[in-house]
Chain A
Amino acid sequence: MNTLRTIYQLALRECDVIRRIPIYGFCMVVFPLLTMFFFTSLMQEGQPLEMPVGVVDLDNSSTSRNIIRKLDAFQTSHVVARYPTVNAAREAIQQNKIYAFLYIPKGTTDDLLSSRQPKISFYYSMTTMVSGALLYRDLKTISVLATAGVGQATMRARGATDRQVKAFLQPITIDLHLLSNTATDYNAYLSTMMVPGVMMLFIFLITAYALGTELKFNRSKEWIQLSGNRIYLALFGKLLPHTLIFLGIAFFYSWYVFGVMGFPHPGGVWKIVLLNIMMVFAAQGFGIFAFGLMPSLRMSMSICSLWAVLSFSMAGSAFPVMGMDGPLQALSWLFPLRHYYMVYQITILNGFPLLDAWWHGAALCAFILLPILVARKLKNAMLTYEYIP
């Protein structure tokens, strides 16, 4: 009973701090939500559509115009301009007017009709990877279609049926099944890592900040005494309001992306709830650990922010961890976001049982237990250290 009352008093004391210092409200509620709306609204299209593409058509025949029309009809490409020379088109890419261009040299139709194998080229820029990859896909399709068009015309002239034409031109087709994210939705793919990543960043920082400001404003002794010299109790009571607020934000985020935006989540609600709880606790565990390691406000916050920023790369959602060097693959285990992301993609996105991600679940639990390593040092610091500006 006494313990419960102590926790209640500690939590009340922390609520008072949170209410008094506005930066808490911003970092715990406003900024995470802002980031969530930012990413989900930025990539609302799912896939970039109607990207500007140019054309250098020196052939100017019905065939070349047909190719251009087909290119324009794709949902990703939008033919916005024609250029007289390749150089002019290249300059337009450099000026950011177009992302790619199709070059049809003079005499393409003549060469095609007289079987002299003309060549068309597609120039795309990989300096923006998403647009480069998508536009490349369009070009590839266009070129295959154009090639097939020639064969189709020849075979039709010889009296082949459509089925025969199809079977001859494309004996083997590829039947593509996209598991879970059927629409190749970049929003569902990136936002589900970025937003939790930013939330974790704030949990790291705010945890370290909350502990560090006790020292900074010289309230640490009072805090430890209030808990009756029990550091675990002190930590639990102090961080309880944080946990509840962050959990609320995490659940709101989950409700928004999975419920409102309808991102794929065949794993079901309970796994989402469990993962959110593990995420908040693991991030708090890391924050306490970082502060315990170096009980100085600025050093621990620097470590937390640098670690959190790195974890966006080390989570391996954009560039996979399996493509990194060996030592980095091992280091990726030290980032809570990596484990969060793995558990998310295995159990929630793909809907496999938790057992398949148990290593990563165990790692998250290890992060939750990290404060045990530094609890003594933390208590010592709180009772003896002085803040040096």
Chain B
Amino acid sequence: MSTFLKNIIEGTRDACLIWRDEMRQVIKDEGVLIFFILVPLVYPLLYSWIYNNEVVHEVPVVVVDDSHSHFSRQFIRMCDASPDVRIAYYASDMDEAKMLIARQQVRAIYRIPSDFHERLNRNEQTAVAVYCDMSLMLTYKAAYQTAVMVSQEMNSQIQISLSGHYTAREEELLVHPLEYEAVPIFSPGGGYGSFILPGVLVLILQQTLVLGIGLSAGTARENNRYKDLVPVQKHYHGTFRIVLGKSLCYFMIYIFMGTWLTVVVPRLFHFPCLAQWPDLLALMLPYVLACIFFGITVSCIVRYRENVMLLMVFVSLPLLFLSGISWPQNNIPGFWQGVSLLFPSTFGIRAYVRMNSMGATLGDVLFEYRVLWIQMLVYFVIACLVYRYQILQACRHASKEAE
């Protein structure tokens, strides 16, 4: 048998042994188990619970009605009847209304001027003042859009009563000569949960992997006599076999966690699930591998096991923003676009959201898909290089000891 073939067989056997060792270590270590099993299992459920109401209904609003007329009461009634706004209080003046805003009992003030009725009957234009508390965008949107909608509806009624047409069709044509329709495609509910959660799920996958790998590496280092990452042992002398053996262990765990995160959870909570399974599988393969090699690379920087938490937890939030689901990708400054190239999550989230929530095919996310493969390769090479260095260091320490 040639030495090459022998090397391969021996390497495979070593990789399998390392795989077994790593698996044992993961199962024994409760810190790693928290991040590999508990967090991916529980966090999505928690987040889905937080956002399961999806939209904000019945935002409390206070009315300052200086007109006290038929029209003003109609306006108030119609606002109250809308799904998004609830008329919670009637205030006698603006000061009282302001006090309610200060105590956060209401989110907006509708003020109807005293000449509201007169002006409408005189065929003059009048205005309802809407004051919005800007501490929450969703409530501002609800209060403002409801007022606009109701005013448009009342405007149409006033126009119809003034125009003196005969048939209902004529009246409809008067107020809507051009019909329009707004179609929120892909996520017709427009809910908050189904917008943010797919991205969060994919991000959780990367973050828990990196944290878990970092913790596990930190433990290995602390258990080592010379604080080295790699033990001096017969099976641990090849770079490839270490990286492959460890990755195999993490990959095995994340076959399950990944399926849970990207396939089961969205279905449990009825988020849009438009991706076809071969496409999804094809995407998740490079993504999980890229995350694993990224995690291995990061884990080599970590001296103590807890430091990885200090490094990786806070980046979760910026990473979510860099993926372009909160802040549109088009409007992310170039510098940060460049930074976002470093992280697998950026492209994982983009591709996953577009495939699963927007029904894109693999061909539509080809760019992201390619970048993920490139990232996987690059991080694999870096992971091998840093492990090579670690092995050399371990050997040096060992030989020093021998002397």
Known: A38-B336, A179-B134. A117 touches B313 (CB 8 A): no
The answer, yes or no, to whether A260 is at the interface (CB within 8 Å) is no
Known: A51-B330, A309-B313. A150 touches B46 (CB 8 A): no
Q: Given the complex, which residues of B lie within 8 Å of A314, measured CB to CB?
A: 50
Q: How far is the CB of B395 from chain A (nearest CB, A)?
A: 23
Q: B128 near A172 (CB under 8 angstroms)?
A: yes
- The 8 A CB mask of B133-148 against A (1 = contact, 0 = none) is 1111111110010011
The answer, yes or no, to whether A81 is at the interface (CB within 8 Å) is no
- The 8 A CB mask of B309-326 against A (1 = contact, 0 = none) is 110011011100100111
The answer, yes or no, to whether A202 is at the interface (CB within 8 Å) is yes
Q: B134 near A189 (CB under 8 angstroms)?
A: yes
Q: Given the complex, which residues of A lie within 8 Å of B124, measured CB to CB?
A: 167, 171
- The 8 A CB mask of B160-180 against A (1 = contact, 0 = none) is 001000000000111111111
Q: How far is the CA of A302 from the CA of B187 in the complex (A)?
A: 35
Query: Assuming A147-B175, A319-B56, A389-B219, what are 12 further A-B pairs, CB within 8 angstroms?
Result: A41-B335, A51-B330, A93-B186, A119-B179, A120-B178, A122-B183, A129-B326, A202-B310, A205-B310, A206-B310, A313-B47, A316-B136
Q: How far is the CA of A313 from the CA of B49 in the complex (A)?
A: 11
Query: In residues 252-307 of chain A, which contact B (Cβ within 8 Å)?
Result: 297-299, 301-302, 305-306
Interface residue SS majority, chain A: helix
Q: B178 near A318 (CB under 8 angstroms)?
A: no
B interface residues with partner A (beta carbon < 8 Å): 31, 34-35, 39, 43, 46-47, 49-53, 55-57, 59, 75, 101-104, 120, 123-141, 144, 147-148, 151-152, 154-155, 158-159, 162, 172-187, 189-192, 195-196, 198, 215, 219, 222-223, 304-307, 309-310, 313-314, 316-318, 321, 324-333, 335-336, 350, 353-354, 357-361, 364-365
Q: B310 near A23 (CB under 8 angstroms)?
A: yes
Q: How far is the CA of A112 from the CA of B191 in the complex (A)?
A: 35
- The 8 A CB mask of A104-132 against B (1 = contact, 0 = none) is 00001000100101111111111111111
Q: How far is the CA of A115 from the CA of B59 in the complex (A)?
A: 39
19 A/B residue pairs, CB under 8 Å, sorted by A? A51-B331, A94-B354, A95-B365, A117-B178, A117-B179, A119-B178, A126-B186, A143-B178, A175-B127, A197-B317, A198-B314, A205-B310, A209-B306, A302-B309, A313-B51, A316-B136, A318-B137, A318-B196, A350-B102
Q: Which of B159, B182, B329, B364 contacts A140 (CB 8 A)?
A: B182
Q: How far is the CA of A299 from the CA of B336 in the complex (A)?
A: 33
The answer, yes or no, to whether A166 is at the interface (CB within 8 Å) is yes
Q: How far is the CA of A194 from the CA of B320 in the complex (A)?
A: 12
Q: How far is the CB of B82 from chain A (nearest CB, A)?
A: 14
Of the stretches A221-229, A237-245, A320-328, A373-381, the one at the interface is A320-328
Q: 4 smallest A-B Cβ distances: which pairs?
A: A143-B180, A94-B360, A345-B135, A181-B134
Known: A95-B360, A172-B120, A305-B313. A121 touches B180 (CB 8 A): yes
Q: Given the complex, which residues of B lie within 8 Å of A182, measured CB to CB?
A: 134
Q: B328 near A164 (CB under 8 angstroms)?
A: no
Q: Given the complex, which residues of B lie within 8 Å of A313, measured CB to CB?
A: 47, 50-51
Q: A122 near B317 (CB under 8 angstroms)?
A: no
Known: A41-B336, A94-B358. A319 touches B215 (CB 8 A): no
Q: Given the complex, which residues of B lie within 8 Å of A131, measured CB to CB?
A: 328
Q: How far is the CA of A133 from the CA of B189 in the complex (A)?
A: 13
- The 8 A CB mask of A32-70 against B (1 = contact, 0 = none) is 000100110111110011111000000000000000000
Q: A174 near B185 (CB under 8 angstroms)?
A: no
Q: A312 near B178 (CB under 8 angstroms)?
A: no
Q: How far is the CA of A311 from the CA of B353 in the complex (A)?
A: 24
Q: B127 near A173 (CB under 8 angstroms)?
A: yes
The answer, yes or no, to whether A372 is at the interface (CB within 8 Å) is no
Q: How far is the CA of A312 from the CA of B162 in the complex (A)?
A: 52
Q: How far is the CA of A132 from the CA of B134 in the complex (A)?
A: 19
Q: Which of B59, B134, B181, B198 contacts A122 (CB 8 A)?
A: B181
Q: A42 near B327 (CB under 8 angstroms)?
A: yes
Known: A41-B336, A308-B313. A126 touches B329 (CB 8 A): no
Q: Which residue of B lies closest to A43 (CB)?
A: B327
Q: A127 near B136 (CB under 8 angstroms)?
A: no
Q: B152 near A144 (CB under 8 angstroms)?
A: yes
Q: A112 near B306 (CB under 8 angstroms)?
A: no
Q: How far is the CB of B274 from chain A (nearest CB, A)?
A: 10
Q: How far is the CB of B321 from chain A (nearest CB, A)?
A: 6
Q: How far is the CA of A200 from the CA of B134 in the complex (A)?
A: 24
Q: B177 near A320 (CB under 8 angstroms)?
A: no
Q: How far is the CB of B179 from chain A (nearest CB, A)?
A: 4
Q: How far is the CA of A186 from the CA of B134 in the complex (A)?
A: 10
Q: How far is the CB of A144 from chain B (nearest CB, A)?
A: 7
Known: A99-B330, A117-B179, A323-B56. A132 touches B49 (CB 8 A): no
Q: Which of A115, A167, A177, A302 contacts B123 (CB 8 A)?
A: A167
The answer, yes or no, to whether A90 is at the interface (CB within 8 Å) is yes
Q: How far is the CA of A389 from the CA of B25 in the complex (A)?
A: 12
Q: B321 near A42 (CB under 8 angstroms)?
A: yes
Q: Given the complex, which residues of B lie within 8 Å of A170, measured CB to CB?
A: 125, 155
Q: A123 near B185 (CB under 8 angstroms)?
A: yes
Known: A125-B185, A126-B195, A197-B317. A27 touches B326 (CB 8 A): no
Q: B178 near A168 (CB under 8 angstroms)?
A: no
Q: Given the complex, which residues of A lie within 8 Å of B176, measured CB to CB?
A: 117, 147
The answer, yes or no, to whether A352 is at the interface (CB within 8 Å) is yes
